[in-house]
Every structure is written in C-alpha cells, then in structure tokens.
Amino acid sequence: MLTIILATGWPIWPLLLISIIGLAILLERTWFLQKKRIAPAHTLDHALTLAIQIQDSSTSSLSQQEQTQQMTQLATESILGKILAAGLNSISVAQDQLQCLEAMREVAGPCIKQLNQYLNALATIATLAPLMGLFGTVLGMIEIFASQGGTSNPTQLAQGISMALYNTAFGLLIAIPAIAGWRFLRGLANDRQDELNAATRLFIKANFAD
C-alpha cells in the first residue's frame, strides 16, 4: 500500500490529509452526540423536582444555597441540563412563563449550533475528495503521456495509467464513507435536537400548566 501511495504522486497527500480530518470529525461527533451527553433520561425528572422545591420553598428540604448548587450541577451534566438550569434560574427569580422561555432560548441557541458543529466540513470533504482524486488522475495522465514522447511502450503506459487511476479510487474511497457518515451524524443531530425540544416543552407544561 505504501508503495502505491508513493507511486501515485503528490496529489495523493492532500487526499490522505482530508481523510484523516474526516475520520477525526466522524469519531468526535459520534462521541459528542451520545444521548448521555445531550439529553440523559434522568435530567428532566431532576429538573422538575428542583422546580417544585424552588416554587414551594416552605416545604423544600433544600436551602437556597443547596438549590443553587443543584442547578449548577445540573447545568454541567449535559446540554439539556444546561438549558433546563436556565429555566430553573428564571423560575427562582420570577415565575413567569415568557421569561422562562426566553431564558432557555438564549441558552439553547448556541447549544443547537454545537450539535451541528463540523458537519459542513464533513460534507465539504465528501464533495471535494472525488474531485481531488480526479485532478490527481488527470495530472498523472498528462505526465505519463508527456514522458512517453514520440515512442510509447504499451506496458509502461498501462502501468502508468493504472497508477494515475489510484488517485480517483482513493478519492471515492474517502467520499463514500464521508457521505454516509454525514447523513448518519445529521440524522443523529436532528434526533438530539428533537429530544431537547420535547424535554423543554414538557418542562414548561409541567411548571406553567395553566
């Protein structure tokens, strides 16, 4: 494999570089978009329990300082926790639905952007890889025919063309999993966003039922 890579010429090196970048994005996003990092199952229940204690401080077993600590801990656990902690903080100041919604929206905006981070870069890699591979093949073909001059050895010509075509093959080898990975991560990000929206609606409905 190393012999083939070295024989295909310099255009293969940018392809190898973007393949490493694409793999890094795929691994990082798969790790980041885990449910436990975005919207763990227990987070909403924890937030609703805290909301009850905040709104009915007379029967709460937690002091105001302990409630603040609980909200801070909730905000550091996950993205959903961060959004709901903003809502809890708003409820502790004034039990107003619009203010609570606005507080959560301010926090949710940057969080939603985080879900889609690097996906455009992965889509760009999927688009560029076959074009870069084709460029390497065309460049290799030009060099092969130029080196032949007036005399052509069919065996050498066939070997040169096959080496040049490796650039296109490498480009497709990068583009195909990059496209599949992009579609997978895009769907995963959309699912996580839907989970955040659903949990936020349930939080508002539970605290402002009327």
User: Which residues fall within 8 angstroms of residue 119, CB to CB, at 6 or more apart?
Assistant: 29, 182, 185, 186, 189
Q: What pLDDT was estimated at residue 5? A: 64
Q: What pLDDT was estimated at residue 127? A: 96
Show the CA angle centred on residue 30, arms to residues 26 and 31, nearest 5°: 120
Q: What pLDDT was estimated at residue 95? A: 76
Q: What pLDDT was estimated at residue 96? A: 81
- Residues 44, 112, single domain; the answer is yes
Q: How many residues does the chain have?
A: 210
- Residues 44, 90, single domain; the answer is yes
- Residues 27, 48, single domain; the answer is no
Which of the residues in the chain have pLDDT under 50? 58
- Residues 130, 172, single domain; the answer is yes
Kindly state whether residue 128 falls inside one of the protein's structural domains: yes
Q: What pLDDT was estimated at residue 126? A: 96
Domains identified in the chain, total number: 2
Kindly state whether residue 152 falls inside one of the protein's structural domains: yes
Kindly state whether residue 79 falls inside one of the protein's structural domains: yes
Q: What pLDDT was estimated at residue 4? A: 64
- Residues 15, 45, single domain; the answer is no
Kindly state whether residue 3 falls inside one of the protein's structural domains: no
Q: What pLDDT was estimated at residue 131? A: 94
Kindly state whether residue 1 falls inside one of the protein's structural domains: no
Kindly state whether residue 2 falls inside one of the protein's structural domains: no
Q: What pLDDT was estimated at residue 138? A: 86
Domain span holding position 125: 8-33+117-196
- Residues 139, 191, single domain; the answer is yes
- Residues 79, 141, single domain; the answer is no
